[in-house]
Structure 1
Amino acid sequence: MSDETDIHPDDMPEEQVLPLDDWHRKMGGRMVEFAGYQMPIQYTGDHLKHGGGIVGEHTWTRTHAGLFDVSHMGQLLISGEGADAALEALLPIDLSTLEVGMQRYSLLLNEEGGVLDDLMVSRWPNALYLVVNGATKWEDIAHLREHLPDDVTLNHLEDRALLALQGPKAFAALDRHVTGEYPLSSLVFMTFGHFEIDGVEMSVSRSGYTGEDGFEISLPAKDAEKIATLLCNEPEVEPIGLGARDSLRLEAGLPLYGHDLDTETDPVSARLLFGLAKSRRETGGWMGHVTCAKMLAEGSPTKRVGLKVEGRMPAREGALVFAGDKEIGRVTSGGFSPTLGYPIAMAYVASDYAKKDAALQIEVRNKRLDATVTPMPFVPNNYYRGD
């Protein structure tokens, strides 16, 4: 295949630098290593509009608007003759129904049906735009390079940043600044358009990973600080770090790759059937179909579930789940829910126990905590789907 990406995963430096690295530090970002970058886990300082800390950032996003730097994620353009068919051989997606301006969730699978990554696919006028996870983007690029035909071009958009503006007041803050051929209000959940702010061109999708209404903004890296500063000067907006991003996505019941998803999990066990196009579940023709089709027909041995945990002690990743004396699963994500006021978790458990209101126990620090299987999302989503 033709590929405009010259860097091979094995040649990557141990740590890369975000376009907004200096800006995060000036804004009081407390930096930690994540996905090969230094990223802010939270912000500190007297300039903050809320009380500070991860809980303060979490609550601000739920009630106002938070700006997240997600530039570590990979932005890819796939184009050329036969690009749709080539990508459909790797993703369980039906691209014939994906029109320009639409976005869809999908999964990159291996031959055994294991999840290599979860991602977003959008139809641009002359290409397919993919957003992949930062921790796996170089492996994803290598996988795509290996399997896409020579007539298809993969372009890694390394010169672009990605910002996520999330929360019930995200629209008001962004709408004051964007201009375009159509209003920002024309976007509904999982659609996108091309806009400008003060001469900076950007692609804006109405999507995100918090469960709130919001937008993801792809823009030139050189303009990221200008736009981030402009948005954070709005009264509704604060910069938000990784800590609150994790607690928000957990409340929204959204899996995180490397924790709730990996090559040992599959879309059926993960209950991500919306990532498998109905029209292609039987027809197949995509990598991993044989395993997924068998599980769809026979049922999967384990399932991802939500758990409400009694008490105040959170159950973290790796904690074992029991039904009586029988070990039946393992927690993959867990923490205290600032919105609900009690601990919650996601876990894979034996399918026989993956029933609403099933009473289970989680082992934490040699203690058994009572837990109840509960539907996800834990906190209702507030996606904007139109009036």
Structure 2
Amino acid sequence: MADTTSETDLKQTPLHARHASLGARLVPFAGYQMPVQYEGILAEHTWTRGNAGLFDVSHMGQAFLAGPDHATTAAALEKLVPGDIAGLKPGRIRYTLLLNDAGGILDDLMVTRSADPSDDGRLYLVVNAANKDADYAVIRAALPPDISLAVAEDRALIAIQGPKAAEVMARHCEKCGDLSFMAASSAEFDGIDCHIGRSGYTGEDGFEISVAADRAVAVWDALVAEDEVKPVGLGARDSLRLEASLCLHGHDIDAGTTPVAADLLFAISKRRREEGGFPGAQKILAEMESGPAEKRVGLSLEGRAPAREGAEIMHDGKTVGRVTSGGFAPTVGAPIAMGYVAADLAATGTELDLMVRGRALKAKVVDMPFVPQRYYRKPK
């Protein structure tokens, strides 16, 4: 979870003092000093699955892409991503991918169209912390003169995740109950102006709250005070997203990985498949037609020993892939992993060996996600 940034160069989020006062173990991550755990990864993971976990994700990049109208702004972004941004409805969020000319994934990101008609030329972007400066440079380099990118350095981002998140949020934000999964709105949290989206990175129902940095502590304190809520660090965030089979950029996806190999075809909208016009479209569409050389798969291991990132995946004594994320899954009660294998070995039930410290661990390909995703969708 840590990086090699010098302690003196590390940034702090607006909630840093709260993490320290709660006794968090702080580590370098993506250039920030971040809490990896408070009372322990297992306890925090289990609490989030049954109650509501509170995460400081203010290290993520927040920015606004703005133009004269939605069509113009969307067209500019569609030159860089394969998602249907033009067709994104007001107040909706879309997961998409920032691609290079070879079809590789420079980053994955969330794009929100404002629900306010007076603000309809603006898109709200959330990008990964480790990539944000590079992402902003790629986006700016591709923008026409009538589109601007404004980085929101003065905002914090807080996530509350878990089956009790909605009932907790309802006590502080009247609008939250109206939001379905992947919907967002400007809203007041205890009278504090926020931008709130119903999404997250755990597979659970939950919300992400973007708020001015100087009001972040008030929001955090109000949520921590709720009986159903406990703060959760990066360690459990990682084990939760692994159980939900969600990719981590720089590990499960990177600039050398195509969306087809990564099993992220849902991020390529139907219209974009038909029209193309995004970076690497020729290669990606060809892979969709003929199949990729390798595919991301879920792996279930026998026994209790986990296989970590970098472990070789073997079949009949030959290396056929590598693990990109792995660990013990508390909800599953067993070790799990994700990795890439040759496409002809990606079928569910295929038996493989994972090499851990010179020992072959028995594993098989299983369907993902490992734990059912519990996102909230309004009844029709």
TM range (shorter): over 0.9
Which residue, 184, 190, 210 being the options, matches 1:218?
210
Deviation at 1:216, TM superposition (A): 0.5
Where structure 2 has 5 or more consecutive residues not aligned to the other structure, the ranges are 1-7
1:142 aligns with 2:132: no
Aligned position for 2:81 = 91
Are 1:57 and 1:244, in contact at CA under 8 Å, matched by a contact in 2? Answer: yes
Match of 2:341?
A: 349
**Gaps in structure 1 of 5+ consecutive residues:** 1-12, 44-51
Work out which of the residue numbers 310, 313, 316 in structure 1 matches 2:302: 310
Q: Secondary structure at the match of 1:282?
A: helix
* Structure-to-structure mapping, 1:31-50, within 5 angstroms: 31-43=26-38
Q: Which of 144, 148, 153 is residue 153 of structure 1 equivalent to?
A: 148
Following superposition, the deviation at residue 278 of structure 1 comes to: 1.3
Amino acid corresponding to residue 106 of structure 2 in structure 1: L
Partner of residue 64, structure 2: 77
Alpha-carbon distance in structure 1 between the residues aligned to 2:12 and 2:182: 29
Number of equivalenced pairs: 364
Which residue of structure 2 aligns with residue 46 of structure 1? Answer: none
Aligned to 1:7: none
Work out whether residues 82 and 267 of structure 2, in 8 Å CA contact, stay in contact via their aligned partners in 1.
yes
**SS of residue in 2 equivalent to 1:371:** strand
- Counterpart-to-counterpart distance in 2, 1:360 and 1:93: 34
CA contact (8 A) 2:75 2:86 kept: no
Write the mapping of 1:66-215 to structure 2, written as runs, cut at 5 A.
66-81=53-68, 82-124=72-114, 125=116, 126=119, 127-179=122-174, 183-215=175-207
d(CA) in 2 for partners of 1:222, 1:149:
33
Alpha-carbon distance in 2 for matches of 1:343, 1:246: 14
What is the Cα deviation at residue 233 of structure 1? 0.3
Q: Is residue 291 of structure 1 aligned with residue 283 of structure 2?
A: yes
Aligned-pair distance for 1:84? 1.4
Q: Percent identity?
A: 54
**Residue of structure 2 equivalent to 1:331:** 323
Give the equivalent residue in structure 1 for 2:314.
322
Offset of 1:282 from its aligned partner? 2.9
Write the deviation string for residues 183-218 of structure 1: whole angstroms up to 9, x where unpaired.
Answer: 322111000111112321001111000000000000
1:56 and 2:43 aligned: yes
CA RMSD of aligned residues (A): 1.0
Query: SS of the residue aligned with 2:86?
Result: helix
Is the contact made by 1:334 and 1:345 (CA closer than 8 Å) also made in structure 2? Answer: yes
Moved more, 188-197 or 304-313: 188-197
Residues in 2 aligned to 1:151 and 1:379: alpha-carbon distance in whole angstroms: 44
3-state SS, counterpart of residue 54 of structure 2:
strand
Other structure's SS at 2:113 match: strand
Q: Deviations over 1:144-169 (max 9, x none)?
A: 11111111010101111001000000
Counterparts of 1:233 and 1:14 in 2: how far apart (Å)?
A: 32
From 366, 371, 379, the counterpart of 2:371: 379
The 8 Å contact of residues 105 and 257 in structure 2, kept in 1 or not, is answered as yes
For the residues of structure 2 that align with 1:218 and 1:292, how far apart are their CA atoms? 34
Find the counterpart in structure 2 of residue 261 from structure 1. Answer: 253
Structure 1 runs of 4+ with >3 Å offset: none
- Contact kept in structure 1, 2:79 and 2:279, CA below 8 Å: yes
Superposed CA offset, 1:283-307 (max 9, x none):
1111121211111111100000000
What pairs up with 1:1-16 in 2 under 5 angstroms?
14-16=9-11
2 CA distance for matches of 1:20 and 1:290?
44
Q: Which amino acid aligns with 2:304?
A: R
CA contact (8 A) 1:282 1:293 kept: no
Letter paired with 1:39: M
Structure 1 CA distance for aligned equivalents of residues 52 and 241 of structure 2: 15
CA distance in 1 between partners of 2:266 and 2:97 (Å): 10
